[in-house]
Amino acid sequence: MTNRPRRTLKADTITMAHGSGCKAMRDLIEDLFVGAFDNPDLNPLEDQARFDLAALSAQGGQLAFTTDSYVVDPLFFPGGNIGTLAVNGTVNDLAVSGAIPKYLSCGMIIEEGMAVSELRQIVQSMRQTADAAGVTIVTGDTKVVPKGKGDKLFINTSGIGVIKAGVNISAQRCRPGDKVIVNGFIGDHGAAILNARGDLALDVELKTDCQPLHSLVQAMLEVCPDIHAIRDASRGGVATVVNEFAESSALSIRLLEEALPVRDEVRGVCEILGLDALYFANEGKLVAVVPGEQAEAVLAAMQAHPAGRGSAIIGEVLAGPAGRVLVQTGFGGERILDMLVGEQLPRIC
């Protein structure tokens, strides 16, 4: 952009004109988005952001690229909103590869009639969340759909990060004897969204666990560069992640039910609805598979980090049967933990 005064958005609600490419759309982009995400890569408002490849190559041997879309209902919930979710979710998708997140894109699909004040609050929270995660939002897109054809706001974010040489994190690298570690209480986000919808009318304190995990992963890699596998346990929860690990590596995983960190409030929601916290979505939790002999060192590093204070070893990798996940119960028995057949809680992220 030049040094001319930035346009101002005067409307109280979003109209179809704000997606038409005319002056109204320029007002929206310059006031809300450029005003919040202000940085040298975004401000020229070209159709793409441009980077110095030599500078990126100096930071790592591989480029990581990911994309995700967010359709959560409601848009605002205890501990965050769709904007914080969009930034942290994409940061974490990069982080679990061992990448250092660098740049994000932001695509907004806005429903006609959405309050500008709500959109402004979400955009500002995205900037704050990006700053906290050390990433920059450098490009984006805006579309407006007619009233009744969307649900206020959908967001797509894509991300680029760099992976240092020697880091090779993959679900296919699990080995018998590896330990399975989670970085804290599971199911918080799923329970918080469910309660925020107001259908249960529960008088409990439930808050999303939404947080960036890249610095936690880097702390883990410092003590164990040979971490075998990491994934964030978002939709489908911990159960889905460990099943993916077992299938990809053609091995078996056994979890210890008594070792699973679950808040009493989340456990109570599960008991009321007949659900399992292992399937609840998380937005600030990862599941890592590390060599058994290094598990305690990794666990100590995680517990010393703000995003991993509640970390626990929850299971181990076994030779077989291939693709099987078992949960050892507190009574000494075992049960099979399958992937969900359908969606347990729709519109959760």
Confidence at residue 122, expressed as pLDDT on a 0 to 100 scale: 98
Q: What whole-number distance in Å separates Cα of residue 61 and Cα of residue 207? A: 38
Residue 123 has pLDDT above 60, yes or no: yes
Q: What whole-number distance in Å separates Cα of residue 84 and Cα of residue 318? A: 37
> Which pLDDT tens digit goes with each residue over 233-263?
999 999 999 999 999 999 999 999 999 999 9
Level-2 CATH architecture, domain 16-163: 2-Layer Sandwich (3.30)
Q: What whole-number distance in Å separates Cα of residue 188 and Cα of residue 349? A: 13
Confidence at residue 6, expressed as pLDDT on a 0 to 100 scale: 74
Contacts for 306 with CB less than 8 Å, ≥ 6 apart: none
Tokens of 30: 């310059």
Residue 21 has pLDDT above 90, yes or no: no
Tokens of 167: 């880091």
Residue 291 has pLDDT above 80, yes or no: yes
Length of the chain: 349
- Identify the band that residue 199 occupies on the pLDDT scale cut at 50, 70 and 90: confident
Q: What whole-number distance in Å separates Cα of residue 206 and Cα of residue 193? A: 9
Supply the pTM of this predicted model.
0.95
Residue 1 has pLDDT above 50, yes or no: no
Q: Where are the beta strands (DSSP E) in 126-248?
A: 136-145, 153-163, 179-182, 229-232
Residue 179 backbone dihedrals phi, psi, to 5 degrees:
-105, 150
Superfamily of domain 171-336: PurM-like C-terminal domain (3.90.650.10)
> Which pLDDT tens digit goes with each residue over 129-178?
999 999 999 999 999 999 999 999 999 999 999 999 999 999 999 999 99
The whole-number average pLDDT for the span 18-43 is 93
The whole-number average pLDDT for the span 289-313 is 98
Q: Where are the domains of the chain?
A: 16-163, 171-336
> Which pLDDT tens digit goes with each residue over 34-80?
999 999 999 899 999 999 999 989 998 899 999 999 999 999 999 99
Task: Identify which has the larger pLDDT, 198 or 187.
Answer: 187
Ranking 86-90, 162-166, 195-199, 227-231 by mean pLDDT, the lowest is 195-199
Q: What whole-number distance in Å separates Cα of residue 90 and Cα of residue 127? A: 14
As a whole number, the mean pLDDT across the chain is 94
Q: What whole-number distance in Å separates Cα of residue 29 and Cα of residue 108? A: 11
Cis peptide preceding 321, ω within 30 of 0: yes
Confidence at residue 132, expressed as pLDDT on a 0 to 100 scale: 96
- Identify the band that residue 119 occupies on the pLDDT scale cut at 50, 70 and 90: very high
- Identify the band that residue 4 occupies on the pLDDT scale cut at 50, 70 and 90: low
The whole-number average pLDDT for the span 274-286 is 95
Residue 228 has pLDDT above 60, yes or no: yes
Share of the chain above pLDDT 90, in %: 85
Residue 298 backbone dihedrals phi, psi, to 5 degrees:
-65, -45
Residue 3 has pLDDT above 60, yes or no: no
Q: What whole-number distance in Å separates Cα of residue 120 and Cα of residue 286? A: 30
Residue 332 has pLDDT above 90, yes or no: no
